[in-house]
Each structure stands twice: as C-alpha cells, then as structure tokens.
Amino acid sequence: MAEGNWHAADIDRVIVGEDQIRDKVDELAKQVAADYATADSVLLVGVLKGAVMFMADFARALGRHGPPVEMEFMAVSSYGQGTTSSGVVRILKDLDSDIAGRHVIVVEDIVDSGLTLSWLMKYLQSRRAASVEVVALLRKPDAVKVTVPVKYVGFDIPNEFVVGYGLDYSERYREVPYVGVLRKSVYAQS
Ligand code: 5GP
C-alpha cells in the first residue's frame, strides 16, 4: 500500500481543501501584517506538533507581507491517544528564549474547548510579553463558549474529529495536505 494517495480511503469527507487553506493562510497573514505594520518584529509561538504545517506556511506568508518574523515552539500535553480533551495542560517543551517585551502571536492548529489556549495565554503573559494574540486555522463550535480572545480565525468547522494539515489521529495523518473527517471504520480498527 505504498501508493501516494493512500489516505483518501480513510477520509470520509474533506472539510477544508488545499486551495482553501492556501488562500486563507495568505489572507490571515495580510491581516496580521497590517495590524503589526509598525512593529519591529513578531514572535510566532507554534504549538507542537499539530501547528507545524500551519506555522510553516503562515511564517512564509508573513514573510511576503509583514514585519520580520522569529519562530519559537512549545509542546504541551493535549489529547494523547484518544479523541476527547483531557483538560490537563503540561509543558513538554518550553520556550528557548526570553519573550519579555516581544509581540507574540500564538499559532494554533485548532481551538476546541480552548483549555490549552487559555492556559497558554496566561503563561505567555506571565512571561511579560508586550502583547499576546492568537491565530488559529480552525475553530470548533465549543470554542465560542470560552473567553479566549482568538483574534485571527481561519475556518469555523463542525464539531467533528478532524485530521490532516498537522492534525493527527494516534500520530498518523499529519501529512495529509487537507483537513478531513476520518471514516468511523478507522477508529473501529484500533
Ligand atoms: P482544546 O484545549 O482547545 O480543547 O484542544 C486543543 C488541542 O486539541 C488542539 O491543539 C489539537 O491538538 C487537539 N484537537 C482538538 N480538536 C481536534 C480534532 O478535531 N482533531 C485533532 N487531530 N486534534 C484536535
């Protein structure tokens, strides 16, 4: 099964296609570039591993439109092997540099319960960043209940478990170039 498009059989339907992602990433970068036009630089903080694809594309898009960019990565615990939020946030990888006085933009793959993000915002503010905003490619309906100010949102999606473009199911499907819903039979196998 070494065929290039093996994942198509596991995906029930595409929620956000490749072209849509590309256009939206560019649109978000233009908005951010306009808002930070007078900033010396922005510090993008990507949340591993899910935000890796979005981070890479968003940073390059900002490179075309915006102020100079620096990148940091953090890893925090979230879903583990399952598909429901544990609510437990633990730092697995911390920032490498001091963010005091920096304009920070957290780059998130998806906001669901918002638990991860609200914790992360407080953490970054406690490290005395000059400003902290969030750009999230995807947002699920439950996120609106939480008071996390996500300034830049790519797509509002239905309340279903999605994979692709960095998002995994048991570490698989991150490389799928679009965002889609897995077939139920895939869960049944594991
Ligand atoms: P929250 O704390 O907002 O509930 O969840 C944040 C994290 O949970 C995301 O960064 C992501 O890693 C994971 N997550 C939430 N919804 C999904 C989903 O539909 N699919 C995948 N693969 N991960 C999700």
Q: pTM (2 decimals)?
A: 0.91
- At residue 190, the pLDDT reads 57
- The pLDDT of residue 2 is above 70: no
- Domain containing 23 equals 18-158
Flag whether 117 is in a domain: yes
pLDDT in tens, 64-82: 998 999 999 999 876 544 4
Flag whether 176 is in a domain: no
Mean pLDDT for the stretch of residues 14-32: 98
What is the domain-level CATH number for residue 109? Answer: 3.40.50.2020
User: What's the CA angle centered on 119, arms 36 and 84, to 5 degrees?
Assistant: 115
User: How much of the chain exceeds pLDDT 70, in percent?
Assistant: 89
167 CA from centroid of ligand 1 (Å): 8
- The pLDDT of residue 125 is above 80: yes
Flag whether 190 is in a domain: no
Flag whether 183 is in a domain: no
Flag whether 168 is in a domain: no
Flag whether 188 is in a domain: no
Q: What's the total number of domains in the chain?
A: 1
Flag whether 147 is in a domain: yes
Kindly give the number of the ligand 1 atom that is closest to the alpha carbon of 160.
19
pLDDT in tens, 41-50: 999 999 999 9
Mean pLDDT for the stretch of residues 76-96: 70
User: Whose Cα sits closest to atom 15 in ligand 1?
Assistant: 112
Taking all residues of the chain, what is their mean pLDDT, rounded to a whole number?
A: 89
Mean pLDDT for the stretch of residues 82-88: 53
Instruction: Tell which residue, 146, 141, 172, has the closest CA to residue 49.
Output: 172
Interatomic CA distance for residues 112 and 159, integer angstroms: 8
- At residue 173, the pLDDT reads 96
Of 54, 112, 135, 157, best ligand 1 pocket probe by most atoms within 8 Å of the beta carbon: 112
Q: Is 92 exposed, middle or buried (0-12, 13-18, 19+ CB in 10 A)?
A: exposed
